[in-house]
Amino acid sequence: MPTNRIVYLEPVPDDVESIIRTRLPSGFDLHVRGTEETVESAIADADFVVVATTPLPSHSIGAGTRLRLIQHQGVGYEKTDVAAAARQGIPVAVCPAGTTIGVAEHVLLLILAVLKRLPLADASLRRGEWLQWELRPSSFELAGKRLGLVGFGRIGEAVARRAQAFEAEVLACEKDATRQLAGESIGVEFSSFEDLLAACDIVSLHVPLTADTRHMINAETLRRMRPTAFLINTARGPLVDEPALVAALESAAIAGAGLDVFEHEPLPADHPLLRLPNVVLTPHISAGTKDALIAKMDACFANIGRVARGDPPLYPVTA
């Protein structure tokens, strides 16, 4: 049985697997889980696991009797039972690399798409329509708008810098004093979450999913937003109470939304969000570029290499 065996837990297309394999360092064996292969059977002979969105509950982790590291491809690890891994002496690490630029760019993509009614403009043109004038009353520029960032970490700062290039005003809420100083140094103002909701034309979420942040966007907080405001979420789907958001969009309590993440993924084919004309939807791809994948694999494999040499992993997480 090979040693230093890495199992990539996401069943991916061949061209994606090819990119991953080009980053694999020498001395390691890589197995990519197949679509019909269970997580438990894939983990059974793994020394290291790289995971993106596949859940890793306690019983799955228990199958990994040789596991030396669970390496997350991104920074979200809420689907992994970290406490169960700790009981087996298996460290869990995240990977900040390869996320910031792609997500920040995608935030601006969604903002511009909802402001400019891009899906409607494209679909109507393909139907043979020419809405040169009809879209003007409901289309807007980002310049001069106030963008509210809920959370001001690496991604929040990257979004702020890009939005400022579009001449938008940026407001943020953030508890960390160091991050507040970083924002103030580039002209970002800070306020409470409640005040931000009431003051901003666009609200973009940039916080991790925790017990405190789950459904932080709900019927009550949506009522605090302006009826002309837009919600953007590229962070985690469960930050938003989706039935409450659908109700707010249907009743024009807010103007629209741009969403890359959802409470249940893939998004069900009958989900009411899919029928709303004031929403732009993408399938959790904000960090899904080839550039990001290369950066992430390099960082993940480097961290695995550290553990293989007997060093502790970078960016460990605890229960």
The catalytic residues are: 236, 265, 284
Instruction: Say how far apart CA 99 and CA 289 lie, in whole Å.
Output: 10
Question: Per this entry, what is the length of the chain?
Answer: 319
Hey, what are 225's tokens?
Answer: 């937003």
Hey, what are 249's tokens?
Answer: 């969009």
Separation in Å, CA 251 to CA 220, 224, 242, 246, 313: 14, 14, 14, 9, 49
Hey, what are 220's tokens?
Answer: 């009550």
Is residue 133 classed as helix, strand or coil in its secondary structure?
Answer: coil
Strand 316-317 relative to strand 92-93: parallel, antiparallel, unpaired? antiparallel
Which one, of 290, 314, 154, 293, lies nearest residue 235 by Cα? 154
